[in-house]
Amino acid sequence: MKIVGVAACTVGIAHTYIAQEKLENAGKKAGYDIQVETQGTIGVENELSDEQIKEADVVILAVDVKISGRERFEGKRIIQVPTEVAVKSPNKLIEKAAEVVAG
């Protein structure tokens, strides 16, 4: 399964990067291909390519604020949660993503 995501918190510092790290670690641990873009105070990092988005089975948005480029994910299965959920329960969130893809 391929997962892409965006992490963005209100301040754009700590939770953004913690959410990214936790999601990537949980995804890899579960054996999935996962890429997480961050949108923080210094702008967009690890920007997702059109190809990565096209190939993704599901999109995880761990966001507390409006993100730029959300329209890129139109037509995709999207799970949106606050960054806190990605930080505290990343494994459950990855399991949920697998359930959504399995239908």
Show which residues are catalytic. Answer: 9
CA–CA separation, 35 vs 81, rounded Å?
Answer: 17
Please name which of 33, 30, 23, 6 lies closest in space to residue 89, comparing C-alpha atoms: 23
Question: Rg (Cα) of the chain, in Å, rounded?
Answer: 12
